[in-house]
Structures are given as structure tokens and as C-alpha cells.
């Protein structure tokens, strides 16, 4: 980061940083202990105690005081002097400090004692290494100090003569030279660290400045949005009012008894006015922020039928068939009905414009977490290269057609805007000469937006409990049974209401699961003491007397959470009867055991273990079925034993018992028909266990 690698300004800043390090690390008093150790060695070697050996130490103390004053002056410089000016001052003080050591050579060098000379050399080398730490930041400072301190020592050693003295002089000179060469490397490392520090400071300043600019831009955008809203409100009022008046007068003229040329002029005026009104509505709808409407809800079937009734006359005019397909009991959607109708109107109007023969269908159908609206026409279709442009404003797919219809390509852009504000999706499926299907989806009312993960901790499935399920809906009762029955729970589903109430009065149940529209009646029924769980479907009124209400359809985990809350509020009941114990013995899953296992190994690890088990068990079951089909009963017995071992290790007792029973039958020589029945029992228990595991841990379904 030196030389020509950086601009001049950066090099000056880096050099200034090195001088800061020079003054920050410069501790001249660190060399005083080396000087103090030279005094007793000189006195012992010379055998003539006196005050002269203390003279160099006094001089060095004076230099230390002066150097500290210089450091204080540098800290308080307040911009006075350039970095080079202060570097040269430090080099001068370094030269003076080195000269005091040079003077010390005259007082501490013992000509007739090589041990004393060697001791003195060691002290000088230690002092030089200590001083090198700070002065490496500015090589001239180190050079001045080394020349004036080590130079006299080298000269004195050479003048003394002798092989050891000459070699020692060479060693001292070499030591000083090596440290001098290290100065460049140390300075380069310092330059890089200083440059990175300056870059970080600059980056922080730029980020702070950009943050302020972004905040200013955000405030300006918010202000612009408020101005836009005000402008659109004024535009809507100022343009719609006179335009409606003009259209009204034109309609009166159209009904008057005018001559044919005048009637034609009036019709042209009406068509132009209606086109202008449509354009104005599209521009305002495209620019308006209607995010608040996303919190409302509406009936999708009602919106589709309203659009069909409104545009049916136009379809008759073109001799087209316009139909609406919307099944009963569709769930509500999380969007304002007016906005849904507006989007459908745009799509159906577009289909009417492009379709010359055949028909148009408005189709509404429920999906997993949304309702899909489709407008299917028998028009010319849309070329593949035009489809990406359809939902962009001011880009009509067919320019020639847009000119004939006086369109600007805003209709589909408005649809996309409405759907995106409702957190839905929009698209088109088409091919040339095969018609087109324009569709959009709106999330269900109360359905989660996006792909957010379910919140809250997982609740173990209920185990060894009894439930009465009466909903008058076979599919609903079957789903509840699939959720809870595999865990050793007893399920009773009477056929009639009177039979269900009588059974609830005679037997103990941990919960009674009924439809929401009958929950209040069950809560008031005579002899019924169990808590009532109401399954509330969309469009139904929430009950008043139910102990808990669960929106249906629901996941297994949602049902487990509600049942757990009911269990916590219940008073302790007497132990289950023998029938309950019998069912608990053949339960495919022990929910309590899996809850303990989950706490022990963690949810992620447990899911991985179960996923591996399911894959392995299904392979073994397939192999078992193949072996039974080929009547290879010995192989089938070994496969069943493997299944029992895998399931038993996880505590899946139903599969384990069925597999062990099959193995026992193969050993006792049972007939082929009985063995096939036993094999089917193993496969069935494995399927039931897998479903129970998926209900308990939905991640296994992936």
C-alpha cells in the first residue's frame, strides 16, 4: 500500500498514521534498565568504584524527560506542523538518545576484560532491539539511534583488537544492519493496517451518508405518495363530475328523436366518453394504494355470479355463451368483494372483446389455501412471445387490436395490481388458435400469507383417551379418526343424534367432537358432562357454549393443541376400562414415548430417524409382499423379523406385534392362505403407523 499503489492523499494519510504509531510506541525509558545493568558490571570488572559510571545514566534520564516532553507536544499539536516535521524532530531526539549510549561506551567499556565487554555488547543489543519496536515506523529515526549508539561500540571493539573483539564488532554491526533492513518490512505492514483502517473509516462515513440519503429519499417518497393520493382524489372528482355530466347529456340526446346523422354523432360522442371514463378508472385503479382492502373478506361465488349477470347482455349482443361455474360452500376470500368483481370484470371484458364465436366461462374453484378464479374463452389465443408483456402497463399484447379498441394496455395491469394487493397470483395459459385462460388466486380468509412456518411448540398427540365424534359428515369423522385413533385412543361415531346423546350420557369421554351448528345443543343436553369441541367451517356461526372451537379443515397438530387445552382443563377422571386398555395395547404409536424421545434427541434428529425408518420399512414390506406372492416363506419370515426389529427399536408396537406374529406362523408351518392374511396385516399396520407418524410430524410428508 505504498509508493504508486495509492493516491498522493492516501499516502500522506498513511504516513501520518505511521508517525502516530512512532509517538504512541516510543517509550524511551524502556532502555534505562539496560543502562542500569551496565553500571555494576563496569564497577566489578574495573575494581574501582566511583561516580563516573553513573554519568551516562544521568544523561539518558535527561533525554527521556526531553522525549516525553516531545511526545506531549505532539499530542497537543492541534494541527501545528506536518507529519514530516514531527518525524524529523523524533529522529533528532533519537540521535541524541543514541549519542548518550555512545558516551556510555567510553565509561562502561573495560579494555582488559572480555567477559565485561561481552556483557556490555548484550546490553547494547537488548537496548537496540527495544528501541527498534517504535522506530521501525520511521527508518531514519532508527538509523540515527543505531549509528550513534552501536557505532562507538563497534569502533572501540575493533581498536581493542583480538579475534573475539573483532568478531563481536562484526556481530554488533550485523545485528544493527539486519534490524535496519527489517524496517522496510515493518513499515509495509504498518502501511497496510493503517490503509485498511482508513478504508474502514471511509466506508463507515459513506454508509452513514448513504443511510441519511436513503432516509431523505424515503421521506420524499412518502411525501410524494401523499401528494399522489391527494392528486388522484382531486383528479377523480374534477374529471369524473364533468365527464358524468357530459355522458348523461349524451345519453339524453341518444334517446331523443334526432335525424340519423345527428344520432350517429351522438353515438360517437357516447363511445368516446365511455372510453375516456374507462381509461380514467384504469389509471386511478393502477395508481391507488388499496392495501387496506386486503383485510376484508368476500364471497367468491357471489362475485363471479354478479359479474356474469352484469356482462350477460354484452355476450348476447355478440351471440356468445357466458356461463358461471361456482360450486356451493366455497370458502370466503381475504379481499374486498368490490375489488374481486373489478378484477373479474376486466378479464371477462377482455375475453368478450377478443372472442367472436363460441363461449366464455367464469370458473371458481377452491385450492389448498386460496380460491382460483379463471376466465376461459374460445378466442384466437395469445402468442407465446406476447404473454410476458400482457400484465405490464401500457404494453398491449396486440398493437393493431389496441388501436381498433382505443386501448392503452391498462386492463390486465389493473388486474395484476388488485390481485397483488390481496397477496394472490395472476397468470395466463394459452396457445395460438386454442383460446386463452386468464386466472388469478386470492388467499382464503384467515389463511396464512406466504410460506410462513407455523408458530408455537409441537404438542404430542393425545394417547389412551376416548372421544365421541358426531358431525353427520363421514369424511370429517374419518379425518378426525385418522388423526387420533392410531395413538391408542377410543373413537365412537354413533349413527343418530339420539343414540349419540344416550351414549355420551352412559359412558365417559374425554371430549365430544361435533359440528359448530350443533355445539350449543350438545352443551345443554341432559347427562352430557364431557367438554364439547366444535368444528367450525367457513360461513358457519361460532357457537356460544362450546368448550373449544376449531376452524375446519385443520391440521393434525392444530387438533392436538385444542385437545391438549381441553385435557388441561378437565378434572382427573377414573382410569380407563378394560376395553380402553385393550385398544391401547395395539396402538401403533405411543405419543408420550415419542414426546420423550423428541426431548432427548431433538425434533430434527427424530424426524431424520423416522424418515429413514419409513423408507426402510416400505422397502421391507414390498419385499415381503413379493416373497409371499412367490411363496418363499423362509425369506418372508426373515423379512418380517427385520421389520419387527426396525419397528421395535422405535417402540412401534402394532407393527412389531404383527411382524412377530407372521414370523411365528412361518415357524409353525401355517398354511399359505393364513400366511398371506398375516402378511397383509403387517403391511396394513405399517401403513397405519406411517399415517400416524405423518400426522404427528408433518415434515415426514415432504
What CATH number corresponds to the domain at position 429?
3.30.565.10
Split at pLDDT 50, 70, 90, the class of 642 is confident
pLDDT of residue 595: 66
pLDDT of residue 283: 62
Q: In the structure grid, which three cell numbers stand for residue 375, read together?
A: 376466465
Both 311 and 408 in one domain: the answer is yes
Q: What is the mean pLDDT of residues 624-648?
A: 78
Helix H or strand E segment including 491: strand 490-492
Both 439 and 470 in one domain: the answer is no
**Does 179 reside within a domain?**
yes
Split at pLDDT 50, 70, 90, the class of 375 is very high
Q: Which residues on adjacent β-strands are paired with residue 374?
A: 363, 439
**Residue among 47, 171, 49, 55 at smallest CA distance from 113:** 47
Percentage of residues in the chain with pLDDT exceeding 70?
A: 79
Both 39 and 85 in one domain: the answer is yes
Bond from prior residue into 553 cis (ω within 30 degrees of 0):
yes
**Does 453 reside within a domain?**
no
pLDDT tens string 512-530: 898 887 876 776 566 677 8
Name the most confidently modeled range: 187-196, 263-272, 424-433, 662-671. Answer: 424-433
pLDDT of residue 439: 92
> Is 85's pLDDT higher than 80?
yes
Please give the full DSSP string across 297-345, using - where no structure is assigned: -B-HHHHHHHHHHHHHHHHHHTT-EEEEE--TTPPPBSS-HHHHHHHHH
Both 549 and 607 in one domain: the answer is no
Integer-rounded Cα radius of gyration of the chain: 46
Split at pLDDT 50, 70, 90, the class of 416 is confident
pLDDT of residue 373: 94
State the distance between the two ends of the chain, measured CA to CA, in whole angstroms: 54
Whether this model's pTM surpasses 0.75: no
Q: What is the mean pLDDT of residues 276-305?
A: 66
Q: What is the mean pLDDT of residues 468-477?
A: 86
Task: State the angle between helix axes of 83-108 and 32-46 in degrees (0 to 180), rounded to the nearest 10.
Answer: 10
**Does 215 reside within a domain?**
no
Bond from prior residue into 377 cis (ω within 30 degrees of 0):
no
Q: What is the mean pLDDT of residues 270-294?
A: 60
Residue 622 vs residue 696, higher pLDDT: 622
Both 618 and 568 in one domain: the answer is no
Identify whether the C-beta of residue 183 lies closer than 8 Å to the C-beta of residue 136.
Answer: yes
> Is 6's pLDDT higher than 70?
no
**Does 242 reside within a domain?**
no
Helix H or strand E segment including 436: strand 436-443
Identify whether the C-beta of residue 341 lies closer than 8 Å to the C-beta of residue 419.
Answer: no
**Does 272 reside within a domain?**
no
Q: Are strands 511-515 and 532-536 parallel, antiparallel or unpaired?
A: parallel
pLDDT of residue 527: 66
> Is 55's pLDDT higher than 50?
yes
pLDDT of residue 294: 45
| 563 class by beta-carbon count within 10 Å (0-12 exposed, 13-18 middle, 19+ buried) | buried
pLDDT tens string 558-611: 888 888 878 776 644 444 444 444 344 456 676 666 666 666 556 777 777 777
Q: What is the mean pLDDT of residues 361-372?
A: 89
Both 79 and 148 in one domain: the answer is yes
H helix runs in 26-162, sequence order: 32-46, 54-75, 83-108, 114-135, 139-160
Residue 37 vs residue 358, higher pLDDT: 358
Residue 257 vs residue 592, higher pLDDT: 257
Split at pLDDT 50, 70, 90, the class of 1 is very low
Split at pLDDT 50, 70, 90, the class of 364 is very high
> Is 372's pLDDT higher than 90?
yes
Instruction: Say how far apart CA 402 and CA 393 lie, in whole Å.
Output: 13
**Does 369 reside within a domain?**
yes
Other beta carbons within 10 Å of 462: 23
Angle CA 380–381–386, to nearest 5: 125
**Domain membership of residue 574 as a residue range:** 466-582
Helix H or strand E segment including 466: strand 466-470
Instruction: Say how far apart CA 8 and CA 560 lie, in whole Å.
Output: 72
Name the most confidently modeled range: 43-52, 219-228, 589-598. Answer: 219-228
Q: What is the mean pLDDT of residues 481-494?
A: 83
pLDDT of residue 363: 92
Both 314 and 435 in one domain: the answer is yes
Instruction: Say how far apart CA 697 and CA 650 lie, in whole Å.
Output: 15
What's the whole-number average pLDDT of the chain? 76
pLDDT tens string 299-346: 898 888 888 887 887 888 888 888 888 887 788 888 888 888 888 988
Q: Is 516 helix (H, G, I), strand (E, B) or coil?
A: helix
> Is 11's pLDDT higher than 70?
yes
Both 478 and 425 in one domain: the answer is no
User: Which of 42-51, 199-208, 323-332, 399-408 is predicted with the least confidence, judged by mean pLDDT?
Assistant: 399-408
**Residue among 93, 96, 102, 95 at smallest CA distance from 124:** 102
User: Which of 87-91, 250-254, 426-430, 600-604 is predicted with the least confidence, judged by mean pLDDT?
Assistant: 600-604
Split at pLDDT 50, 70, 90, the class of 404 is very low
Residue 109 vs residue 9, higher pLDDT: 109
Both 362 and 478 in one domain: the answer is no
Rounded alpha-carbon distances, angstroms, from residue 473 to 126, 150, 493, 525, 535: 95, 104, 11, 21, 11
pLDDT tens string 233-253: 566 656 766 776 677 777 777
> Is 88's pLDDT higher than 70?
yes
Both 431 and 567 in one domain: the answer is no
pLDDT of residue 210: 83
Count of domains for the chain: 4
Domain final residue, candidates 175, 208, 241:
208
Both 319 and 434 in one domain: the answer is yes
**Does 451 reside within a domain?**
no
Q: What is the mean pLDDT of residues 149-154?
A: 85
Instruction: Say how far apart CA 295 and CA 307 lie, in whole Å.
Output: 22
Burial 374-383 (b: 16+ CB within 10 A, else e): bbbbbbbbbe
pLDDT of residue 371: 92
Q: What is the mean pLDDT of residues 292-297?
A: 54
Identify whether the C-beta of residue 315 lies closer than 8 Å to the C-beta of residue 354.
Answer: no
pLDDT of residue 289: 52
Both 400 and 424 in one domain: the answer is yes
pLDDT of residue 264: 75
Domain final residue, candidates 172, 188, 208:
208
Q: Is 495 helix (H, G, I), strand (E, B) or coil?
A: coil
Split at pLDDT 50, 70, 90, the class of 438 is very high
**Does 641 reside within a domain?**
yes
Q: Which residues on adjacent β-strands are paired with residue 438?
A: 375, 428
> Order of strands, edge to edge, in the sheet holding 425-430?
321-325, 359-366, 370-377, 436-443, 425-430
pLDDT of residue 597: 62
Residue 130, CB-side half-sphere exposure with 13 Å CA sphere: 17
Domain final residue, candidates 385, 411, 443:
443
Amino acid at each position: 500500500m505504498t509508493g504508486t499503489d495509492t493516491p498522493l492523499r492516501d499516502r500522506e494519510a498513511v504516513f501520518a498514521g505511521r508517525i502516530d504509531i512512532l509517538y504512541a510506541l516510543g517509550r524511551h525509558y524502556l532502555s534505562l534498565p539496560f543502562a542500569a545493568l551496565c553500571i555494576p558490571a563496569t564497577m566489578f570488572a574495573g575494581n574501582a568504584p566511583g561516580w563516573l559510571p553513573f554519568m551516562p545514566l544521568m544523561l539518558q534520564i535527561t533525554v527521556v524527560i526531553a522525549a516525553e516532553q516531545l511526545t506531549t507536544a505532539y499530542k497537543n499539536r492541534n494541527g501545528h506542523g506536518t507529519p514530516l516535521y514531527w518525524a524529523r524532530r523524533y529522529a533528532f531526539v533519537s540521535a541524541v538518545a543514541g549519542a548518550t549510549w555512545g558516551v556510555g561506551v567510553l565509561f562502561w567499556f573495560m579494555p582488559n576484560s572480555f567477559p565485561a565487554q561481552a556483557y556490555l555488547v548484550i546490553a547494547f543489543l537488548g537496548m537496540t532491539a527495544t528501541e527498534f519496536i517504535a522506530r521501525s515506523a520511521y527508518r531514519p529515526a532508527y538509523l540515527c539511534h543505531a549509528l550513534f549508539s552501536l557505532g562507538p561500540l563497534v569502533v572501540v571493539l575493533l581498536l581493542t583488537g583480538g579475534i573475539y573483539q573483532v568478531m563481536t564488532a562484526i556481530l554488533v554491526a550485523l545485528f544493527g544492519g539486519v534490524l535496519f533492513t527489517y524496517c522496510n518490512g515493518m513499515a509495509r505492514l504498518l502501511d497496510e493496517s493503517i490503509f485498511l483502517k482508513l478504508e474502514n473509516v471511509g466506508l463507515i462515513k459513506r454508509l452513514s451518508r448513504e443511510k441519511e440519503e436513503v432516509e431523505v429519499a424515503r421521506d420524499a417518497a412518502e411525501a410524494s405518495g401523499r401528494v399522489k393520493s391527494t392528486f388522484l382524489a382531486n383528479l377523480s372528482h374534477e374529471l369524473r363530475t364533468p365527464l358524468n355530466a357530459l355522458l348523461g347529456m349524451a345519453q339524453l340526446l341518444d334517446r331523443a328523436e334526432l335525424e340519423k346523422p345527428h344520432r350517429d354523432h351522438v353515438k360517437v360522442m357516447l363511445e368516446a366518453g365511455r372510453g375516456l371514463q374507462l381509461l380514467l378508472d384504469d389509471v386511478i385503479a393502477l395508481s391507488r394504494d388499496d392495501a387496506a382492502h386486503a383485510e376484508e373478506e368476500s364471497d367468491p361465488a357471489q362475485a363471479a355470479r354478479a359479474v356474469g349477470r352484469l356482462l350477460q347482455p354484452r355476450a348476447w349482443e355478440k351471440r356468445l355463451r357466458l356461463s358461471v361455474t361456482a360450486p356451493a360452500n366455497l370458502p370466503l376470500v381475504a379481499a374486498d368483494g368490490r375489488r374481486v368483481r373489478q378484477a373479474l370484470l376486466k378479464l371477462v371484458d377482455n375475453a368478450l372483446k377478443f372472442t367472436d364465436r363460441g363461449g366464455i366461462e367464469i370458473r371458481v374453484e377452491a385450492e389448498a389455501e386460496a380460491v382460483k378464479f379463471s376466465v376461459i374463452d374460445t378466442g384466437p389465443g395469445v402468442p407465446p412471445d406476447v404473454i410476458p408483456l400482457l400484465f405490464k402497463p401500457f404494453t398491449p399484447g396486440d398493437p393493431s387490436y389496441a388501436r381498433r379498441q382505443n386501448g392503452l394496455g391498462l386492463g390486465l395491469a389493473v388486474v395484476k395490481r388488485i390481485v397483488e394487493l390481496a397477496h394472490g397470483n395472476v397468470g395466463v395459459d394459452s396457445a395460438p388458435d386454442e383460446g386463452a385462460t386468464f386466472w388469478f388466486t386470492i388467499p382464503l380468509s384467515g389463511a396464512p400469507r406466504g410460506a410462513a412456518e407455523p408458530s408455537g411448540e409441537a404438542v404430542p398427540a393425545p394417547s389412551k383417551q376416548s372421544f365421541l365424534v358426531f358431525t353427520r359428515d363421514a369424511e370429517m369423522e374419518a379425518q378426525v379418526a385418522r388423526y387420533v385413533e392410531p395413538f391408542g385412543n377410543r373413537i365412537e361415531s354413533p349413527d343418530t343424534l339420539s343414540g349419540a346423546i344416550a351414549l355420551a350420557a352412559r359412558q365417559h369421554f374425554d371430549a365430544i367432537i361435533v359440528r359448530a351448528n350443533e355445539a350449543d345443543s350438545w352443551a345443554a343436553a341432559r347427562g352430557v358432562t364431557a367438554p364439547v369441541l366444535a368444528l367450525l367451517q367457513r360461513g358457519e356461526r361460532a357457537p356460544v357454549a362450546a368448550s373449544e372451537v376449531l376452524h375446519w379443515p385443520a391440521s393434525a397438530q392444530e387438533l392436538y393443541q385444542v385437545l391438549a387445552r381441553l385435557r388441561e382443563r378437565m378434572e382427573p377422571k377414573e382410569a380407563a376400562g378394560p376395553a380402553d386398555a385393550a385398544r391401547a395395547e395395539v396402538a401403533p404409536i405411543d405419543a408420550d414415548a415419542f414426546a420423550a424421545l423428541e426431548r432427548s434427541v431433538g425434533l430434527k434428529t427424530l424426524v431424520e430417524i423416522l424418515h429413514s425408518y419409513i423408507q426402510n420399512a416400505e422397502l421391507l414390506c414390498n419385499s415381503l409382499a413379493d416373497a409371499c406372492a412367490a411363496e418363499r416363506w423362509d425369506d418372508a419370515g426373515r423379512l418380517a423379523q427385520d421389520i419387527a426389529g426396525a419397528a421395535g427399536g422405535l417402540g412401534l408396537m402394532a407393527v412389531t406385534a404383527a411382524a412377530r406374529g407372521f414370523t411365528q406362523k412361518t415357524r409353525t408351518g401355517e398354511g399359505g392362505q393364513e400366511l398371506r392374511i398375516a402378511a397383509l396385516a403387517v403391511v396394513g399396520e405399517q401403513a397405519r403407523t406411517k399415517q400416524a407418524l405423518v400426522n404427528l410430524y408433518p415434515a415426514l410428508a415432504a
